A and B are shown apart, each in its own frame.
Chain A
């Protein structure tokens, strides 16, 4: 269907007669296999043989969602046919391991195929139901290795990031609480994971996003007091400002900076705030510091539109608490807007609207 990134020339070479004949034979073989699986499923032949045929078909076409459904029908039948003795437990385990291997191999090949991820999730849930919480916890923990491999190959794969969030939630659910602990949380290790990810690639917006979701939880679970919260905000600002300094043209970084600034706003819902007890002069001080920093980097990067956008964002926020000690003038704002118009004509309609909303 949606062919992505395949050049037209590669797909359009004239086929020789021999290649055409081969393709017709391939079509016949494929259709025969499809018919065979569908017929046997219609006859409710839920057997190991049919499972094998489905494997063959799915390796050829992992997007064929109905065959994944058939596969689960067969597996459910095989699971429920077993008794509770030791040998059948092995059989269940073998079947699960077999499908874990199959989906692992297919995900490496087709990392964006929804149906493979779905099947894998179903396998893990089913394994827990079949074999109990201990086995479930072991299996879910093992999934982190898979996710790390998938994100190692493509650090922006949103299927892998979603699966990661689901896997950590399952591990937390299944891990017994230690004495005196509220929960066995993975928040700290997830926070560290995002630190490593953004350090190796500042452009990884997926990692910055994940970090923004982790931080409020992290602070709650640390039972952080006001000092600890301010320290975290300051260290996040230091981190992102260093990133801006490294590559001021990378929008991932600017969105994360915007996130941090958003948490300062009185409109920010309390569960999303980093520091809980900011007053307006605290806010102004943060805005002033950030503006000061941006004006400094502007000296070397006067053609970076993100800086002007950041300055105008901060100016708008600052003006909500203006106490007469203005650190910028309306003329400054006009000149920043003028720079945006000059540097970023693609979005000129937006800059017109911004000028109107700021009365510039």
Chain B
């Protein structure tokens, strides 16, 4: 089951659409696993599980949760699970936090923790323990895998996955929170590690982790909100850092962060909506980084999730922290 590769094959330079072509996006996502005659399909195998999360979540937000077969999805997800409790990108790929997080998000969305237990005894706890084993006890941060790369992305992946499974008590939350707090810069935003430049993607992971930990009091919300709001450019799109170009995926990183600190109204939602809609391939579905570029499932997912935050009519509500349907997150956190 792969949804990663494959540009849309539509004609270029059509005028920007003014409405979301839902059916075409559904068909685009459904088509992605049928493109094994393209080299790109094989070159992107290291993203299979992420791609499945992106495509499946987009379908749920589009109101077509059954457009992909549940059984097929779960079979693929479990085939990526290692004895250790970590998931690889695809069968035969090593376990890594990035894929483990996507796997947990998929299992949660499909309400399939019982199936997980049937596949692997005590599977939920094993996943939790694998994640917990990657916390650096000295600094509180997390590595992505046994090789030790550390980044606030992995800390957020850990918090997100563990909280969905009700296993946050397996790690030292306070220490991790301190680490996130040490990544803040004078502009109120966050970087990959202490000393690193502020970056919208990293803001999402750091503010997301602090939201899960219930520590938004540590965020300078006025400063951060100002910095985030300046990501919007004249064409309505958002960039990731000062003086960079716009990109649909930042619609998510920036907007979700603004939503977490209740400042979504600090940017122009109408203009952003128009920008995202203009990135659709109106013929064959899918969204791209900028108008007229090749589409892919990553931008398709984050563009649709962005539109959901903007309350685009007809879309299911997305949770700004978990980037999953809101009702799913509420169900998981209640348990």
Contact with A along B180-199 (1 / 0, CB 8 A): 00000111000111011111
When C-beta atoms are compared, the residue in chain B nearest to A347 turns out to be B229
When C-beta atoms are compared, the residue in chain A nearest to B54 turns out to be A1
Does A175 have its Cβ within 8 Å of any Cβ on chain B? no
Q: A1-B296, A3-B7 in contact; A161/B196 too (CB < 8 A)?
A: yes
Report yes or no: A165 in contact with B195, Cβ–Cβ below 8 A. Answer: yes
Does A258 have its Cβ within 8 Å of any Cβ on chain B? yes
Report yes or no: A8 in contact with B8, Cβ–Cβ below 8 A. Answer: yes
Pick the contact of A66 from B10, B92, B294 — CB < 8 Å? Answer: B92
Interface-forming stretch among B45-53, B71-79, B156-164, B322-330?
B45-53
When C-beta atoms are compared, the residue in chain B nearest to A251 turns out to be B242
List chain B residues, Cβ under 8 A from A11: 7-9, 294
When C-beta atoms are compared, the residue in chain A nearest to B234 turns out to be A346
List chain B residues, Cβ under 8 A from A60: 43
Does A130 have its Cβ within 8 Å of any Cβ on chain B? no
Report yes or no: A4 in contact with B43, Cβ–Cβ below 8 A. Answer: no
List chain B residues, Cβ under 8 A from A300: none
Does B217 have its Cβ within 8 Å of any Cβ on chain A? no
Report yes or no: A9 in contact with B42, Cβ–Cβ below 8 A. Answer: no
List chain B residues, Cβ under 8 A from A235: none
Interface-forming stretch among A21-29, A43-51, A277-285?
A21-29
List chain B residues, Cβ under 8 A from A203: 242-243
Give Cα A11–Cα B297 distance, bound, in whole angstroms. 15
Does B317 have its Cβ within 8 Å of any Cβ on chain A? no
Pick the contact of A2 from B39, B93, B147, B298 — CB < 8 Å? Answer: B298
When C-beta atoms are compared, the residue in chain A nearest to B37 turns out to be A24
Report yes or no: A347 in contact with B268, Cβ–Cβ below 8 A. Answer: yes
Closest-CB distance, A266 to chain B (whole angstroms): 15
Report yes or no: A30 in contact with B42, Cβ–Cβ below 8 A. Answer: yes
List chain B residues, Cβ under 8 A from A350: 225-226, 229, 263, 265-266
Does A212 have its Cβ within 8 Å of any Cβ on chain B? yes
Report yes or no: B241 in contact with A205, Cβ–Cβ below 8 A. Answer: yes
Does B88 have its Cβ within 8 Å of any Cβ on chain A? yes
Q: A63-B46, A346-B232 in contact; A2/B299 too (CB < 8 A)?
A: yes
Does A31 have its Cβ within 8 Å of any Cβ on chain B? yes
Closest-CB distance, B242 to chain A (whole angstroms): 4
A-B contact count (CB 8 A): 180
When C-beta atoms are compared, the residue in chain A nearest to B146 turns out to be A69
Interface-forming stretch among B111-119, B131-139, B285-293, B308-316?
B285-293
Pick the contact of B46 from A3, A31, A64, A250 — CB < 8 Å? Answer: A64
Report yes or no: A255 in contact with B289, Cβ–Cβ below 8 A. Answer: no
Q: Which of A113-169 contact B (CB under 8 A)?
A: 114, 118, 121-122, 156, 158, 161-162, 165
Closest-CB distance, B150 to chain A (whole angstroms): 10
Give Cα A2–Cα B236 distance, bound, in whole angstroms. 21
Q: A8-B7, A12-B12, A347-B266 in contact; A206/B197 too (CB < 8 A)?
A: yes
List chain A residues, Cβ under 8 A from B198: 209
Does B5 have its Cβ within 8 Å of any Cβ on chain A? yes
Give Cα A64–Cα B8 distance, bound, in whole angstroms. 23
Give Cα A10–Cα B186 distance, bound, in whole angstroms. 42
Report yes or no: B196 in contact with A1, Cβ–Cβ below 8 A. Answer: no
List chain A residues, Cβ under 8 A from B297: 1
Pick the contact of B38 from A23, A162, A345 — CB < 8 Å? Answer: A23
List chain B residues, Cβ under 8 A from A250: 243
List chain A residues, Cβ under 8 A from B187: 255, 258-259
List chain B residues, Cβ under 8 A from A348: 268
List chain A residues, Cβ under 8 A from B295: 3, 8
Chain A CB within 10 A, most for which of B197, B290, B292: B197
Interface size class of B (residues with CB under 8 A): 35 or more
Report yes or no: A347 in contact with B232, Cβ–Cβ below 8 A. Answer: yes
Does B244 have its Cβ within 8 Å of any Cβ on chain A? yes
List chain A residues, Cβ under 8 A from B294: 3, 6-8, 10-12
Give Cα A348–Cα B268 distance, bound, in whole angstroms. 8
Q: Which of A306-323 contact B (CB under 8 A)?
A: none
Does A262 have its Cβ within 8 Å of any Cβ on chain B? yes
Report yes or no: A69 in contact with B247, Cβ–Cβ below 8 A. Answer: no
When C-beta atoms are compared, the residue in chain A nearest to B231 turns out to be A251
Report yes or no: B281 in contact with A8, Cβ–Cβ below 8 A. Answer: yes
Give Cα A210–Cα B45 distance, bound, in whole angstroms. 36
Does B271 have its Cβ within 8 Å of any Cβ on chain A? yes
Report yes or no: B197 in contact with A158, Cβ–Cβ below 8 A. Answer: yes
List chain A residues, Cβ under 8 A from B145: 69
Give Cα A65–Cα B263 distance, bound, in whole angstroms. 37
List chain B residues, Cβ under 8 A from A258: 186-187
Closest-CB distance, A158 to chain B (whole angstroms): 6
Does A183 have its Cβ within 8 Å of any Cβ on chain B? no
List chain B residues, Cβ under 8 A from A252: 242-243
Pick the contact of A349 from B42, B45, B195, B265 — CB < 8 Å? Answer: B265
List chain B residues, Cβ under 8 A from A251: 230, 242-243
Closest-CB distance, A106 to chain B (whole angstroms): 15
Report yes or no: B266 in contact with A6, Cβ–Cβ below 8 A. Answer: no
Report yes or no: B37 in contact with A23, Cβ–Cβ below 8 A. Answer: yes
Does B121 have its Cβ within 8 Å of any Cβ on chain A? no
Report yes or no: B289 in contact with A65, Cβ–Cβ below 8 A. Answer: no
List chain B residues, Cβ under 8 A from A3: 7, 288-289, 293-296, 299
Closest-CB distance, B7 to chain A (whole angstroms): 4
When C-beta atoms are compared, the residue in chain B nearest to A10 turns out to be B294
Does A353 have its Cβ within 8 Å of any Cβ on chain B? yes
List chain A residues, Cβ under 8 A from B203: none
Report yes or no: A212 in contact with B242, Cβ–Cβ below 8 A. Answer: no
Could you list some 29 contacts between A and B, CB below 8 A?
Answer: A1-B4, A1-B51, A6-B7, A7-B12, A9-B11, A11-B9, A11-B294, A12-B10, A24-B37, A27-B37, A27-B38, A30-B42, A38-B92, A63-B43, A65-B94, A66-B88, A66-B89, A66-B93, A121-B149, A122-B147, A158-B191, A158-B196, A205-B197, A212-B186, A251-B230, A251-B243, A346-B232, A347-B267, A349-B267
Q: Please name the 9 residue pairs, one residue from A and one from B, whose CB atoms are nearest each other, closest first.
A: A349-B265, A9-B12, A11-B7, A11-B294, A350-B266, A2-B298, A205-B242, A346-B268, A8-B12
- 8 more contacts with CB within 8 A, not counting A11-B7, A347-B232, are A2-B299, A64-B45, A65-B46, A156-B243, A203-B243, A347-B267, A348-B268, A349-B266
